[in-house]
Amino acid sequence: MALEQILSKISEDAQLEAENIIRAASRQADEISDQIGKEASLLKDKIIATSRAEGEFIFRKETISKRLEAQKEILKVKKHQLDDCFREVLAALIDLDDNLYRNLINNLLAEIDNKQEAQIIFSDHDKSRISQDYIRKINPHLKLSFSDDLAGGFILKTKDLNFDNTLANLLDGMRQELEPEVAEILFK
């Protein structure tokens, strides 16, 4: 019987050892599972924080981009309004009363010191208010002609030089100086 008792004792001890090993393995599996859960939670929190930061960055970037686009549109509209304003000024100068227009032409010609034969070219629109007699009184060296390529003012062609005193050219020359003041008035 002693052999049976020894075998029974060995079986009991083996059973206890197996149970201990199973309990230890179960505790270890629970610890590993808890650790994996904690790591997964940390990874999830990190992914959420990174995604939130990326989302905020993309939102700020898109907001800035949309604001810039809106500002560009506003500037485009303002530039268009300034262009319209200067076009209207040009049209008003072209359509000045005949006496005022001739005074303007006198002032422009007074600024040019020309003592040689030259051609002065006006717009076809000016045929009714500018004549060779009128030009001859201002400067006897000027020969009058007309062109449909001009819109107000004149071009003076000498042998050596051309003076572009068209109203569009004169207004363009003054625009850089006048534009800030005009913009201030328009966009208060």
pLDDT tens column, 82-114 = 888 889 989 999 999 999 999 999 998 888 877
Q: Buried b / exposed e across 23-32, counting CB within 10 Å, b at 16+?
A: eeeeeeeeee
Do residues 93 and 104 lie in contact, with contact meaning Cβ atoms separated by under 8 Å? yes
pLDDT of residue 74: 87
Same domain for 107 and 180, yes or no, is yes
Question: Computed over its alpha carbons, how large is the radius of gyration of the chain?
Answer: 47
73 shares its domain with 120:
no
Structural contact between residues 125 and 100, judged by C-beta atoms closer than 8 angstroms:
no
Task: Let me know whether 180 and 158 are in one domain.
Answer: yes
Instruction: Choose one of 52, 68, 94: the last residue of a domain.
Output: 94
According to the model, what pLDDT value does residue 1 have?
Answer: 59
Q: Determine the pLDDT at residue 23.
A: 87
- DSSP annotation of 126 reads G
The answer to whether 85 and 110 have CB atoms below 8 angstroms apart is no
Task: Assess whether 69 and 156 both reside in one domain.
Answer: no
Q: Do residues 7 and 89 share a domain?
A: yes
pLDDT in tens, 29-50: 888 888 988 888 888 889 898 9
Last residue of a domain, one of 70, 94, 118: 94
Same domain, 28 and 41: yes
Domain that holds residue 161: 97-186
- Those residues of the chain that have pLDDT short of 70 are 1
- State whether 30 and 10 are in the same domain: yes
Shared domain for 71 and 109, answered yes or no, is no
Same domain, 56 and 102: no
* Count of domains observed in the chain: 2
Q: In the numeric block, which tokens belong to residue 140?
A: 């006897």
- Which distant-in-sequence residues (6+ apart) come within 8 Å of 141 by Cβ? 114, 115, 116, 117, 118
pLDDT for residue 121: 95
Does residue 7 sit in the same domain as residue 72?
Answer: yes
For residue 50, give Cα distances in angstroms to 40, 46, 98. Answer: 15, 6, 74
Provide the token pair at 135: 């030009």
Calculated CA dihedral for residues 33, 34, 35, 36, nearest 10 degrees: 50
Mark which of 33, 61, 94 sits at the end of a domain.
94
Whether residues 73 and 111 share a domain: the answer is: no
